[in-house]
Chain A
Amino acid sequence: MVLLSRRKKATIDPDILALSKIVGTKSILHHKEDLLSYDCDGFTIHKAMPKAVIFPKNTEEVSAAVKYCASHNIPFLARGAGTGLSGGAIPLNNEVIISLVKMKNLLSVDYENRKAVVQPGFVNLKLTNSISHKGYYYAPDPSSQYVCTIGGNVAENAGGAHCLKYGVTTNHILGLEVVLPDGEVIEISPNGVLDTPGYDILGILTGSEGTLGIVTKITVRILKNPESKKTVLAYFDRVEDGSHAVSDIISAGIIPAALEMMDQTAIEGVEAGAFPVGHPPDIEALLLIEVDGITEGIAEQIEQILTVCENHHVRDVKVARDEEERGRWWANRKTGFGAMGAISPDYLVQDGVIPRSKLPEVLKEIRNISKEYNLRIANIFHAGDGNLHPLILFDSRIEGETEKALLAGTACLKACADAGGSITGEHGVGIEKKEEMRFIFSDEELEAQTSIRDVFNPHNLLNQGKLFPTPSRCMDIKKVVNETSLTKST
């Protein structure tokens, strides 16, 4: 990166010097102006400055940097494209950020055994693009798949529109190379063979939100493209009708590849954004339904879906004419979050899960929350698996509105938890929802989980302050004091 070496002041911070030696002076940022871009990720409500950002080029450099941080008691965390929505990559404790975007290669593809090995900074969609000419694809498709990295997907156990049928990231990870928080490099299931005996370590690491280790190599499952694919768009005058249609489609025994819903406010947003498709502004809900599989049977499933929609008073329902139209419908849906910028200066996206049958009730409750807090709430969600994404629209320039938005978000999650659901489907807990973990876990359950973390990350230097509620009870505080003194003595 000779390109950016115009100005570099001599630095005297010994940590910066030592880290520069590991990754090279061109692969470290430590000036305030350069670091500012790393003070948050896709979750912008909390901001904090890192100590430095380093860009290792291989596992050895990651390991050496981690060893240095661990032995000098410097907090650190890993970051991919920084598109996470729960603040998992925000340096709350002045961390050294280990950015993995320079480790962005596709290392190998094994079509015969249907697996591929990638580095953590490899962009999700690039995998599908690299193997599509052979008729293969990578299934997990978070909306940010154009830019997000597979390393980040592993950390967050990312989901996506097509996870209803094909499962989330954890169902597609076959092996990992991990740098542990003390710098040791381990390989889990290096040959990508499923069902190794013993504990499911892959399962524990996937979705650990960067608190157990830093993934440096990933073996993923790749799938053969479905033979055929059809997409349906249905407009409903009443949101309840849309919700009932969702339940009935699943009850009919169809497992769509995707079953997405948007409400009126969300439709206003996507239509004001960069990829409008001309949805009518006066409908209360739309469904985007995709079925795929072998060609025979698709037509019949589509028929069934159309019938269900008609039974629920659909205003208009149509099947995508061609790939171009299908592409436009999906671009409109997948850029939905960012499009909210067109109708609101800020938004907070929540990520709750509910049993499908509770959809109408919970949506009603969310409307009440919207009224109570006097904030608009748009809903874009994976209706098929009951994964709600209420988007709370607010303006951080108005005093007190950010706090109000946070409270409204919490209220939405409470509504999900009360309906027998969960506080996150795919965005992770991060900073955003750590207190809400108490809605679904008791103190004992939380402690059981933190004791797993202690096995991997005993000094809690890696991505501290994420995933679990901040210690507020006596017992926890004592524990922290003990940990700190322990770390200092080592």
Chain B
Amino acid sequence: MSLREKELMKNAPPCSSNSLSNYLWEDHPDEEKWADCVHCGMCLESCPTYLETGQEQHSPRGRVHLIKSVAEGKLEVNEQFMDPVFQCLDCRACTTACPADVDVGGLIEEARGQVRQAMPLKGVKRAVSSFFLKGIFPHQSRLQAAGGLLKFYQKSGIQKAVRSTGVLRIMPDHLVEMEAVMPEIHQSTHQKYKNVDIIPAKGNSKAQVAMLKGCIMDVMFSDINQSTINVLTHNGNDVVLPKNQTCCGALHIHAGDRETGKKLAKQNIEAFQDAEKVVVNAAGCGCALKEYPELFRHDPEWKAKAEVFSEKVEDISKYLYDTGYEKPQSAINKRITYHDACHLAHGQGVRHEPRQLLKDIPGVDYVEQPNADTCCGSAGIYNITNPEMASAVLERKMENVPSDVEMISMGNPGCMLQMAMGVQKYGRGGKVVHTVQLLDWAYQEDERKGVKDGVIVEKKESNNRP
């Protein structure tokens, strides 16, 4: 037995009836998913990593071929196999391109689950990964504390000092770039609405919706959560923020930690049990919530619950579009383009709705960008784990952003950070905003002028103006 095999056997379960050839652990990649792939190659040009490398093991059909080969016993779950499986951005562009709807993203996530069990992370990587994925994201109190620290970092003058003294120079480039575009930290909706059960609709209430606050969203981008609440209540929705909700688990599932993913999924399914509708403003989270049933392929009881739950999940732009929204009267006189977050366009098929929201704001000079639905390289925490590829993908993305736009609008926090880095690095495209923020700003202006439904409404504090 080779050293490699010994290593593999060490991590293998003593006995498992759920293994499949060289996939030794349960929850192995789903045979039915690759059965649809006929190797036609129509996915090639949609794949950012194939475009970058030209190598087919870094293409969707190549990855599917490798994943299938492990099941056929031709390959082992080893480092060479891991590389293509983890270089994937999980952007799902191939799912859109595929004539047979092969769920490559699902296969990749399942394969990563096997890799992580075969070769658990070690040393620093393990410590960092488990610190964030297990220690921080799932715990609201710790997230809030981290948010507090960041806020302190920004407000106390430390940020200024750090930036001016050049301490950042000892950090890797991509982290320095990220630090530079870190948004200003505001009070989280978690804290703000701690003691509030229902945030009432302005005017007549027509529906009640539950909102996912998200983990990082509520710390780094709590102003977007606030905008989402404002836009929902402005359009006659009572908003509830179920107390026991947690991180969606997308980052864990992307990283191959399906067990934590399942735990978080169960917690959310229970937390949102009473909700009729679950509105999400982060494309990555929304997509993960919609795919919860996938996690419970082998657990009929939870699968059934997950199916009921995922039916209720809707992206904010689609929810507004489907249920009707008031067109603002106040103008935002800006030239704006829209970037499709992968998990919105490819993952949830939402493309038209956010564009329509933008076009309905008076004064917006909307410019479509070429290849708007190609990945920006953010891909969850991909830009931290695979900085070089992420930066190559970002460069390609920025080439398509029209140079004369004043704002780039989108529907995902990860993309916002990455695109902000792109704007700073390549000097194209101006300010990065979330689509609901624009709508919120216009509504706030309306409310200030008292034009809502022709009725004078109470003045509202307006903080996040463009």
Contacts and interface: CB of A to CB of B under 8 A. Distances in A.
Interface of A: 1-4, 6-7, 29, 31-34, 36-38, 40-42, 44, 53, 55, 81-83, 99, 101-102, 104, 121, 123, 144, 146-148, 273-275, 335-342, 345-347
A273 B100 contact: yes
Contacts of A339: 99-100
B40 A144 contact: yes
Interface of B: 35-45, 52-59, 61-62, 65-66, 69, 74-75, 78-81, 83, 87, 96-102, 386, 388-389, 392
Contacts of B53: 1, 3-4
Given A3-B388, A4-B55, A347-B38, 14 more contacts: A3-B87, A4-B83, A6-B83, A29-B55, A32-B75, A33-B81, A36-B74, A38-B56, A83-B41, A146-B45, A147-B42, A147-B45, A338-B99, A341-B100
A121 B40 CA distance: 17
B139 to A, nearest CB: 32
Given A33-B66, A33-B75, A38-B56, A144 B99 contact: no
Contacts of B59: 37
Contact of B79 (A7, A36, A102, A121): A7
A3 B392 contact: yes
A19 B205 CA distance: 71
B36 A341 contact: yes
A189 B98 CA distance: 39
A342 B102 CA distance: 8
Contacts of B102: 341
Contact of A42 (B39, B54, B55): B39
Contacts of A42: 39-41
A79 to B, nearest CB: 9
A1 B388 CA distance: 10
Closest 7 CB pairs of A and B: A338-B99, A341-B100, A335-B99, A33-B80, A37-B62, A37-B56, A338-B40
Given A337-B38, A340-B38, A34 B392 contact: no
A145 to B, nearest CB: 10
B164 to A, nearest CB: 32
A261 B41 CA distance: 23
A3 B74 CA distance: 26
Nearest to B97: A146
A341 B38 contact: yes
15 contacts: A4-B55, A4-B83, A41-B39, A41-B41, A83-B40, A121-B54, A146-B97, A147-B44, A148-B41, A274-B98, A335-B99, A340-B38, A340-B100, A341-B35, A342-B99
Given A36-B66, A338-B40, A274 B100 contact: yes
Contacts of A147: 41-45
A6 B78 CA distance: 14
A31 B80 contact: yes
Contacts of A123: 45
A339 B81 CA distance: 28
Nearest to B86: A6
A83 B41 CA distance: 6
Given A7-B83, A42-B40, A347-B38, A34 B57 contact: yes
